[in-house]
Amino acid sequence: MSLKESLEKINNIFGISISFAKANFKLRNEGSYLGILWYLLEPILFLVILLTIRGVTSQGNIKYYPVYLFLGLIMYNFFMSVTSASTTAIQSKGKFVKNMTLQRESLVLSTPIQFIFSHIAELIVLTILMIYYHVGIVNLIYYPFIFLFLLIFTTGASFMLATLGVFINDIKNIWPVFMKILWFATPIFYAVNNKGLIGSLNYLNPLTHFMNIAREVIIYNQLPNLRGCILVVSVSIIFLFLGIKIFNKYKVRFAEEV
């Protein structure tokens, strides 16, 4: 395949992905009184609940805790929403999968694109929180660069989960359970722990490093840890490579399974 043909194929995939994402976004909000506000309901409710019970959390030593908490919430929420939806991205679209002219990658890529729309709305809320708590908003200009690698990492995981979802029907039930465990293994509402089991889980959890870098740069105006940056970039690229490789290996069998 020539370079021109490859670029045309990529352009076609992204074009169809954006169309699917827009359609899914409109479908989810169709007939809803609150519309896009439903996307914000979960992180805002969690923020309120966790701030209400903050006496039982380790937030005492965390400066600008509400902003710290909400930034972690929306990053985790993006990863959770995209990957959870990806478990049925192929399985739930059988009629499209059997269309031989459709690039099946677009069925997976449409999911992270769809949730980018709601993530932008969450960032508006984050900006309001930062202004309220007197956290300089100028460093938000760095967030797109951090989010780019979170998006790459999440997309790689989505390709893996979409493929697994075709062959293992229970993955759509198993993944939400795993995400509940990941919620406690990710320093969303507490400070990073460097000791014991929690500390080990924090270090092995890629989301920890994404959140650390985002908080250091955006909230605390600090240079991020170099080792954390290298880990984030490496893991993101590896996950995307493995996800696409696994997807391409098994996509010829999708039409038989759905």
Kindly report, residue by residue over 17-48, the tens digit of the pLDDT: 888 777 776 666 555 555 566 667 778 887 88
The reported pTM is: 0.89
Which among 2, 93, 42 is positioned nearest to 34, based on CA atoms?
Answer: 42
Domain ranges of the chain: 3-257
Structure tokens at 78: 């993006």
Dihedral (CA of 103, 108, 110, 112) sign: negative
Integer Cα distance of 160 and 178 in angstroms: 15
pLDDT for 10: 75
Over residues 139-168, the pLDDT tens digits come to: 999 999 999 999 999 999 999 999 999 999
pLDDT for 58: 47
Q: How confident is the model at residue 5 (pLDDT cuts 50, 70, 90)?
A: low
Q: What is the average per-residue pLDDT within 86-104?
A: 78
Q: How many CB atoms lie within 10 A of CB 128?
A: 12
Instruction: Return the percentage of the chain with pLDDT > 90, whole number.
Output: 57
Integer Cα distance of 172 and 175 in angstroms: 6
* pLDDT, averaged across the chain: 86
Calculate the CA dihedral of residues 238, 244, 248, 250 and round it to 10 degrees.
Answer: 80
Question: Do 42 and 77 form a contact (C-beta atoms < 8 A)?
Answer: yes
pLDDT for 57: 47
Question: Do 218 and 142 form a contact (C-beta atoms < 8 A)?
Answer: yes
